[in-house]
Amino acid sequence: INPENIPNGTYKVYINEEPLLNKMAMIERLARAKVGSKLVTFTYNENDEVSIKIEDHAYQYDILINPGHGGWDSGAVNEYVAEKEMNLKVSMYEKCRYEAHGLSVYMTRTSDTYGAKMGPSGLTDLHKVAYEMGYYGAVSKIVYSNHHNSIGNNYFSGYEVLMAGSLTSNELSNELSIANKWN
């Protein structure tokens, strides 16, 4: 089924006149995705029956930042600072800088909490953050999570940024400029 051929709206999904059921674990279920020029949002009722909402896709945010850890989860800690504090300070600084350049930013947390924790109640806090990142990531050009790890292994270093694969290099000129400056 190509969602681009379906008019915008909300639909209950059937196979052979029976409602489509999704018995996968909650964390493995799709929540929201860009498919071609459409945004497809999946919902599941108490019987695990699948409904989809199809609408025209539009980016709402240039960048989604997840300041890693927060609240009860301190991350790495030394005698000076907890990772959750450093992640939040760096993320808030980045948000201000991006917005000063006209970019729109979504943050999964802006205070010492574990974030909004979106998603079904049966998910763990970590999975709720992942759910939120996926949900808003579908309408963000760039998604990343700030961490200042302390793993004692020089193999893992640097940064990782995830971007929508359908964007052209021209559409990503700001992002590529930022990446080049980081390098």
Share of the chain above pLDDT 70, in %: 89
pLDDT confidence tier of residue 42, bands split at 50, 70 and 90 = very high
Q: What is the pLDDT of residue 108?
A: 95
Beta carbons of 87 and 147 less than 8 angstroms apart: yes
pLDDT at 122 over 90: no
| pLDDT computed for residue 161 by the predictor | 57
pLDDT of residue 39: 97
Question: Which of 40-54, 105-119, 156-170 has the largest mean confidence?
Answer: 40-54
- Average pLDDT over the chain reads 87
pLDDT computed for residue 1 by the predictor: 79
- 11-31 per-position pLDDT tens digit: 999 999 999 999 988 878 889
Q: Which of 53, 55, 2, 45 is nearest to 22 (CA)?
A: 45
In sign, the C-alpha dihedral spanning 88, 89, 92, 97 is: negative
Cα atoms in the Cβ-side hemisphere of radius 13 Å centred on 17 = 0
Burial class (CB in 10 A: 0-12, 13-18, 19+), 157: exposed
Element (H, E) at 146: strand 140-146
Per-residue model confidence as pLDDT tens digits over 53-94:
999 999 999 999 999 999 999 988 889 999 999 999 999 999
CB 107 within 8 A of CB 96: no
113: Cβ–Cβ under 8 A, 6 or more apart, which residues? Answer: 70, 71
Per cent of the chain over pLDDT 90 is: 56
Q: Dig out the tokens for 106 from the structure.
A: 């979504």
Residue 38's pLDDT band (boundaries 50, 70, 90)? very high
* 139 touches 61 (CB < 8 A): yes
Q: Which carries the bigger pLDDT value, residue 96 or residue 148?
A: 96
Q: For residue 43, what is the enclosing H or E element?
A: strand 38-44
